[in-house]
Structures are given as structure tokens and as C-alpha cells.
Structure 1
Amino acid sequence: MLLTLLILFLGYTLVAVMGVAIKIFLKPYSANIESSGIKGAGALIGVFERILVFTLVMTDQYAAISIIFAAKSIARFSELNDRDFAEYYLLGTFASITIAIVVGIIFKLIFGNIPLFP
């Protein structure tokens, strides 16, 4: 049980801090994007997004990942008319979701199916 908790903690920590890599990846594309909304909210949303996607991968609920993408798209629907923002948003979202899926799959390959709720 303790080993399971440590493995999950490592996975959640890894996907949470990957926001730094995403920020570096998006830096060249952020020049044309107007900053709006609460400062730092996008990064925090990304952390929760990756944690949720990692959890869904670990529980074999891959189809539910589409709900996260749909919810984010609905929340940003009016802003998606701006082509620069839409491309920036898609790059960030796809990078975030891809990282969480890849980390989840790697963890499953290395550690097998970890029971989240033993």
C-alpha cells in the first residue's frame, strides 16, 4: 500500500511540474497572445488537467479524457474566434494532455496496473 502511494505521488508530482516544460514549449508562440483573466489561472488549470488525465489513464478511462478537452473548449469558446489564441490554446492543451497520457502509460508499463482504490 505504501509503495503504491509513493508511486502515485511520484506520477502526480511529475505531471504537475511538467507545466514548466509546456511553458518553455509555448514561449515562442505567446508573443501575439493578450493576457486576460486571472494571472496564473491557466497554469493552475493545466496542473489540474494533467492530474485528472493521469488519473484517467491509470484507471483505463481513456474515453473520459475527451470530456476534459470538451469542457475546456466550451469555457473558451468565444476566445477561439481569435486564430492566434486558438492555435496557442490548442498547442497548450494538446501538449498538456499528451504529457499526462504518456507519463500515465509509462507508469503503467513500468509498474503495471496500480490499484488507485484498493
Structure 2
Amino acid sequence: MVSVLLLKLLFAHFLGDFLLQPTSWVVDKEGKKLRSKYFYYHIAVHAALLLVLLWGTAHYFSILCLVVVTHGLIDALKLYLGKKIASTWAFFIDQIAHLSVLVFIAAYCESWVWNFEWLNDASLILFGLCVLLTTVVAAIVMKVLISTWKIEDDGVALKNAGKYIGILERLFVFGFVVINFWTGVGFLLAAKSIFRFGDLTRSKDRRLTEYVLIGTLMSFGIAIGCALLYRSLQACL
């Protein structure tokens, strides 16, 4: 059986760390460290999410306090120690630390959980978690991973267009895999290749072609992986 408590903790974490944390907050925190008001706003967001999602769980206040305190400590360590290591490594070490704490708490407290209407619907929480991973979390993870390559673009593009195109693309792939419509994944990949063909043929920069190819394969791979994870965990509920 999939732990409902763990799904709730993961859902709150990814909502608070990715969807509900603007880039401006991150920049301000990196500059001002613990003097940044957004550091405390960020912790408050996590506390509010946990307050809602853990409602009805026995000893939920103790779990909430433990998660919020450890989250704040890990984030503070990242702010002061993150500059000493590469940003990509700092990002993944930070996330692994957060997730490890959540898994430990869920494993220790699982026996405390009792049913409370729809908030304990594991299927609903699992679906929301996988959609969140496929869209916002994947967008930030991909940005971190491919940020090591700097590609100059002299054209004028819509603000955040690439981000939203990627999110919609992964949502389609996620949906196709969930309903076992693999042909749709192939069609989407072919359609994107056709749309990008003109840009790539006009560009004589081989790095741009490789950059687009890496991004596309990474995006599809993450979406397929999240969908397969959802299907396998759904079978365990």
C-alpha cells in the first residue's frame, strides 16, 4: 500500500518549493540570506499547505512542526553553503535532503494516519502529485540541468513561452501514457519536430540543434517516467 501521509507530504513540498515560490523570492533569499523576508514567507507557505493537507491526521501538529523546522534548517544551510558547490549539485542535494526527511517522517508516523474523507483519497493525491512533478517541477529541474549550456538567441520570443510550451507538452505526454495511447506520444514528438525543423535548418549553430534535442528528449522522458510511476503506484492503491 502507498502511504497516504507520504503522498501528502510530497504534494505539499513540491507545491511550496516549485509552484508557490516565485523566482524573485529565490533571488532575494540568495542575496540577503536569513535577512530576506521571503525566506520566512516561503516557510509560512509550507506551513499553510501542511496545515490544510494534514488536517484530520492524528498528531498532525507534531508532524507539521517537524517538517517546517527541518525544511527551514535545510534551506538555511543551502543559502550559506550552496555557494561553495556548483548550483546544479546544490539544487539536487537540497531536494534530496528534503525528500529524505519526508520519507523518514512518513515511515515513522504511518501508523498515526486515519481516514478523513477526500483528504485521504490516495488516488487523488497521487494524481495531483504526478501532474505537479510532470509540469512545474520538471520545468525547474530541466532549467537547472541545461543551464550549463548558454545558447544565444537574437530573436524576440514571448516571455516564458518555452516554459509553458514544455508544461503543456509534458501534460499531453503524461495523459497519453496514462490512458495507454502511446501513438499520441509519437504523434506529438513528430509534430514538434516539424515545427522546430525550420528554426534548426535556418540556424547553422550545431549547438542549438543539440540543445533543442536534449531538451525535447529530457522533457518527454520525464513525462513518460511520471506517467509510468503514476500507473504503477495506482495499481498498488
Larger Rg: 2
Q: Determine if the alignment matches structure 1 residue 108 to structure 2 residue 208.
A: no
Alpha-carbon distance in 1 for matches of 2:217, 2:135: 15
- Report which structure shows greater RCO (CA 8 Å, sep ≥6): 1
> What secondary structure is seen at the aligned counterpart in 2 of 1:10?
helix
Which structure 1 residue ranges, 5 or more long, are not aligned? none
The residue type equivalent to 2:153 in the other structure is E
Q: Which residue of 2 aligns with 1:48?
A: 168
Q: Determine if the alignment matches structure 1 residue 77 to structure 2 residue 197.
A: yes
Change (3 A) 1:28 1:105: same
What is the root-mean-square deviation of aligned Cα atoms in Å?
1.9
The residue type equivalent to 1:9 in the other structure is G
Change (3 A) 1:58 1:35: farther
Change (3 A) 1:25 1:48: same
Alpha-carbon distance in 1 for matches of 2:223, 2:217: 10
User: Contact 1:56–1:65 at 8 Å: present in 2 too?
Assistant: yes
User: Contact 1:58–1:113 at 8 Å: present in 2 too?
Assistant: no
Change (3 A) 1:113 1:38: farther
Of 126, 134, 149 in structure 2, the residue corresponding to residue 15 of structure 1 is: 134
TM-score normalised by L of structure 2: 0.44
> What secondary structure is seen at the aligned counterpart in 2 of 1:76?
helix
> What secondary structure is seen at the aligned counterpart in 2 of 1:28?
coil
Q: Which residue of 1 aligns with 2:177?
A: 57
Which structure 2 residue ranges, 5 or more long, are not aligned? 1-117
Number of residue pairs aligned between Structure 1 and Structure 2: 112
Q: Determine if the alignment matches structure 1 residue 96 to structure 2 residue 219.
A: yes
> What secondary structure is seen at the aligned counterpart in 2 of 1:44?
helix
